[in-house]
Amino acid sequence: MTKTVTIFGKKYPAYEYNATELRYILSDFFKTQRHFSAKEYYDYVIKHHPEYKSFFHPTERQIEKMIIEKLGRGAMDGANSVIYFDNKFGTKIAADYKYPNNMSDIEYHFYMIKKRGFATISGKINIKDKQSAYLEAWQNMHYPPENDMQILHELYYEILELNPELKLYNFDINNRQRLIQFLYGICYRLPIADIMKFVTGRTEQETKEELNNKIKSLEKYGIQRMDFGWITSDETIKRIEQQMATKVLERATEKIKQNDTQPKKQRKFINIFKQR
């Protein structure tokens, strides 16, 4: 049976846990958008990139196909790496954030795209060819760049209202990169300590070797660096270590209880057998 993910009531093919590819959802996304004529798109492209002047004016449908070809392999995902870790080691690290209208995390990702389109962290699309020029035209005509920070702020305050405990964590919300990192950290259900490590810039001051050294304390539990699909904070590493230590203690306690319920003669036999 083919695995699927459900986004706003519709099933899409899943290529891994809690993820699909943008190409599967873009057709539905385009149906929700305002329409422009081929000439309007062409005029925008020629105004900003006259090198693409030609007699050919692609239709909106053709532009949408260009976008699917360019972005279609990108991930439309929700929480996965931290969930994978929890499932593998039996920990409870993934955060349980509330999203608007009881959305799932992957639905929240789609919700953000509906709000901002394909806006990048820098706010600018790198123009390499005609496809990217028309992608820029589509993006900026549907989502004017000058409105993006306002939309990001609206998304941020919406999340704070649903998760008031997050109001305790402060950073420069006028920094586009940090604000986007925060929102996507929420989407991926990362622990807030890990999100704040990004938005305060602490990851930029930490080397790969330093990260590996911090995770060495977890090796005795069979946890390796490759088990982390995200950058972890000191706080999260300590939480993981505490939870794993508790699991080891619980298993040892359960084993003792099981031994205590065995008949004395049977326990003696087992002890003698272990000594051989």
What digits encode the pLDDT tens for the residues 13-59?
998 889 999 999 999 999 999 999 999 999 999 999 999 998 889 99
Q: What is the pLDDT of residue 2?
A: 59
Q: What is the pLDDT of residue 270?
A: 42
Integer distance in angstroms from the first to the last C-alpha of the chain? 50
pLDDT tens for residues 120-142? 877 788 899 999 999 999 999 99
Q: What's the pTM?
A: 0.87
Q: What is the pLDDT of residue 252?
A: 78
Among 41, 47, 46, 48, which residue's Cα sits nearest to residue 67? 41
Helix boundaries (H) for the chain: 22-31, 38-48, 60-71, 81-89, 105-116, 130-142, 148-162, 176-187, 192-199, 208-215, 234-260, 264-275
Q: How many residues does the chain have?
A: 276
Are residues 86 and 92 in contact, defined by beta-carbon separation less than 8 angstroms?
yes
Are residues 169 and 192 in contact, defined by beta-carbon separation less than 8 angstroms?
yes
Q: What is the pLDDT of residue 260?
A: 66
Q: What is the pLDDT of residue 225?
A: 86
Q: Which residues of the chain have pLDDT under 50?
A: 1, 269-270, 272-276
